[in-house]
Amino acid sequence: MSDHKFETLAVHAGAQPDPTTGARATPIYQTTSFVFDDAEHAASLFGLQAFGNIYTRITNPTTAVLEERVAALEGATAAVAVASGHSAQLLTFHTLLAPGDHFLAARQLYGGSINQFGHAFKKFGWEVDWFDATDPTTIAGAITPKTKAIFIESLANPGGVVIDIAAIADEAHKAGIPLIVDNTLASPALCRPIEHGADIVLHSATKFLGGHGNSMGGIIADGGKFDWSAGGKYPTLSEPCESYNGLKIHETFGNIAFAIACRTLGLRDLGPAISPFNAFQILTGIETLSLRMERHCANAQKVAEFLNAHEAISWVTYAGLPTDPHHELMKTYTPNGAGAVFTFGVKGGYDAGVALVSKVELFSHLANVGDTRSLIIHPSSTTHAQLNEEQQKSAGAGPDVLRISVGIENADDLIADLAQALKG
C-alpha cells in the first residue's frame, strides 16, 4: 500500500478482512498462544527461520496490524508494539547498549524520560549525558568512544519546541551512531523523522496515535538504513547470537534487523507486551489521526494566540506563533501545524500555576497529553517534581510553567474556560 496517501494508510495499512469470518474491522485475537502446524513448523518459528505466531508476548495478529500500520505511516521498514512508551525506550536501549556504554539525550525531554535515563538506566550500567537540542554544535564535543546513540524528541515535551532533526542526524552519523527520535507529540501526521535522517522512531502510542486516553502502548519503528555491522559497536546485532545458535541478526535480516532484535531478544526476555485489546483500541484511534491532528493544531493555534495576548501571561512557547523562535523550523518539520502541546508562563510563579489548574472546569487536570479532551498540568509540582529547580528550568518546566494539551472541543469554549480561570 506504499503508493497510497497518508490518510488512506491510516485506515487500511496492515489490515485485511478476516479470512475466516469476513470481519472488516481487525479482530481482537485475545489469546496467549497459537497452535503449530507440526513439529517442523514449530522448530522453524523458534529458530527464526520463519515468521509466525508463537506467544502473544512476542507476536499477535492484532498487534501485527498495528505494527504494520505505524511502520507505513512513519516510512519505516518494520515496527514493534510494546506496552508503553517507556517500554519502547527500554527495549531500544537494551538492544543498543551494554554495561558501561553511554548515550546522549536532549535536555528538552519529557520528565519521565529524564528520570528513566538518569536513574533507572544506571542500574543497567548505562550512562547518559545531556545536551541542548536547540544547539547541535554542542554534540560533537560530548561524544565519547562509548557513546552508542543520540536521543531527541521531534516536538519536545513539555514546551512543544521544534527540534532540528536533520542537523542532529548529521552529527550522529558523523560519529557512526544512530539517532533515536521520540515522535509522540508530533505523530507521523505532522512529522516523519526518518525522512530527516532519524534511524529509530519511538512513540508513546498512549498519546496522539490512540488519541482517546483509554489505552497504553508504545511503538519502536526501524528506519532500516543504519549499518549495524560497521565498526563492531553493536554486537547484539552484528555478532553471533547465542540464544539463536550463532545467527547474526543484521546479516540475516538486513533492513529490519533492529526491529527483529527488539522483538526476539528484548520483548521475548523482558516481556513488556502490549495487550491485543489495547492494540485494537490504538488501531481504531489511528484511523482518525489525520482528522484529529487538524483540529488539535487549529485549536492550539487559537488558544496560544489568546494566551499570548493575555495580561496574566508572561510568555507562550508555541511554534505556530510567528514570534516564536522555532517558527521557521516548524515550516520545515511540521508544516501542517505546530502540534497541540505547549507551555506558557503565568505571572505569579508557582502559586499562580497551582491556582490556575485548580480553577479550570473544561480542561482536565491530569498527567497525560494527546487526548481528544483538553488537558492541563503544572509540571514542576507533578511530572517534573523529581528534578531540582535548575533541572526543571533546563527542561522547560520551571515553577511558573503550565503545560496544556489542546483537545478537539470547540476552541471558543476552551478559551472561555481559561479566561475565567485567569481572572484574579
Flag whether pLDDT at 369 surpasses 80.
yes
Query: In sequence order, what E strands does 258-330 have?
Result: 313-317
β-bridge pairing 375-377 and 313-317: unpaired
283-287, 382-386, 398-402: which is most confident: 283-287
Give dist(CA 168, CA 151) in Å, integer.
10
Mean pLDDT of the chain: 95
pLDDT of residue 384: 74
Q: Which pLDDT band, with edges at 50, 70 and 90, does 157 fall under?
A: confident
Region of poorest pLDDT, from 3-7, 395-399, 416-420: 395-399
In single-letter form, the type of residue at position 99 comes to P
Instruction: pLDDT band for 408, please (50, 70, 90 cuts).
Output: very high
Of 126, 125, 64, 80, whose CA–CA distance to 268 is shortest?
Answer: 80
Q: Return the pLDDT at 254.
A: 98
Is the pLDDT at 387 greater than 80? The verdict is no
d(CA 211, CA 369): 9
Pull the grid cell for residue 374: 483538553
pLDDT band at 1 (very low <50, low <70, confident <90, very high): low
**Predicted local distance difference test score (pLDDT) of residue 397:** 80
Helix, strand, coil shares of the chain as percentages rounded to 5?
A: 40, 15, 40
Q: What percent of the chain is modeled with pLDDT above 70?
A: 99
Query: What is d(CA 73, CA 48) in angstroms, rounded to the nearest whole number?
Result: 26
Q: Where along the chain do its domains lie?
A: 6-285, 289-422
Higher-pLDDT residue of 41 and 379 is 41
User: In this predicted model, which residue has the larger pLDDT, 111 or 150?
Assistant: 150
- Assess whether the region 6-285 and the region 289-422 belong to the same CATH fold: no
Query: What is the mean pLDDT of the segment spanning 76-99?
Result: 98
- Cβ neighbour number for residue 142 with a 10 Å cutoff: 14
The counts of H helices and E strands in the chain are 17, 16
* pLDDT tens digits, 259-312: 999 999 999 999 999 999 999 999 999 999 999 999 999 999 999 999 999 999
Q: Which residue has the higher pLDDT, 387 or 216?
A: 216
Q: What is the DSSP letter of 137?
A: G
Q: How far apart (Å, rounded) are the C-alpha atoms in residues 38 and 267?
A: 25
Query: What kind of fold does domain 289-422 have according to CATH?
Result: Aspartate Aminotransferase, domain 1 (3.90.1150)
pLDDT of residue 2 exceeding 70: no
* Amino acid symbol at 358: S
Q: Report the pLDDT averaged over residues 156-178.
A: 95
Residue with cell 518546566: 397
Considering the segment(s) 6-285 as one domain, its CATH architecture is: 3-Layer(aba) Sandwich (3.40)
pLDDT greater than 80 at residue 213: yes
Res. 8: pLDDT tops 80: yes
